[in-house]
Structure 1
Amino acid sequence: MTMTVKLDAALEQRLRQRCAALDVPASQVIREALVQWLDSTPEPAPSAHALGEDLFGRHAGPADLASTRKAALAEVWADKAARPARTGRPGTPGAARR
């Protein structure tokens, strides 16, 4: 990969002089300095998203629930109304009326 690095005039002059004195290409010096810096700099802490990425996801259900909520609710009510009434103790919901 080729990158462009902007150096101020003084830094560029120092780099050129040192590279000429050592007979080493500037690109090699820059690569070695970059490797040294990367090796000595600690890895940043992972973000909250990276830590929980395997836990995030869509709920189990229709993907378009927000846009079809009225139809989904009507379907639930229709299914509930179609079931036979359950009998239970008197005075409890679903108990047979006399």
Structure 2
Amino acid sequence: MTTTVKLPLDLEQSLRQHCAAQGRSISDVMRDALVAYLASTPASAASAFALGADLFGRHAGPVDLATARRQHLADAWGDKHARRDTH
């Protein structure tokens, strides 16, 4: 695969000088630099699903809580006060 990389002039000059002194091509040096960089960089962050996978299914509740939250809140409030009144 061929990739084009735009470098600041001073970096390009340093790269060319380094390659000439080492007797290596620019492609070889850049490949080695990318391999080293990628090896030292941590893997990408886990997805939201992966981060919460151990929590999914642990809590039970109404299946329509998102759409009927006001009704569920009113029911919970009524249940709480009904238990208070019986004690």
TM-score normalized by structure 1?
0.49
- Percent identical among aligned pairs is 54
Higher helix share: 2
Q: Which has the higher contact order (CA 8 A, sep 6+)?
A: 2
Runs of 4+ in 1 over 6 A off after TM superposition: none
2:15 — aligned with what?
Answer: 15
Aligned length: 52
Structure 1 distance, partners of 2:45, 2:14, is 35
1:44 — aligned with what?
Answer: 44
Within 5 Å, which residues of 2 pair with 1:56-95? none
Larger Rg, first or second structure (1 or 2): 1
Q: Unaligned 5+ residue runs, structure 2?
A: 57-87
Structure 2 distance, partners of 1:17, 1:44, is 34
Structure 1 distance, partners of 2:15, 2:45, is 33
Q: Unaligned 5+ residue runs, structure 1?
A: 56-98
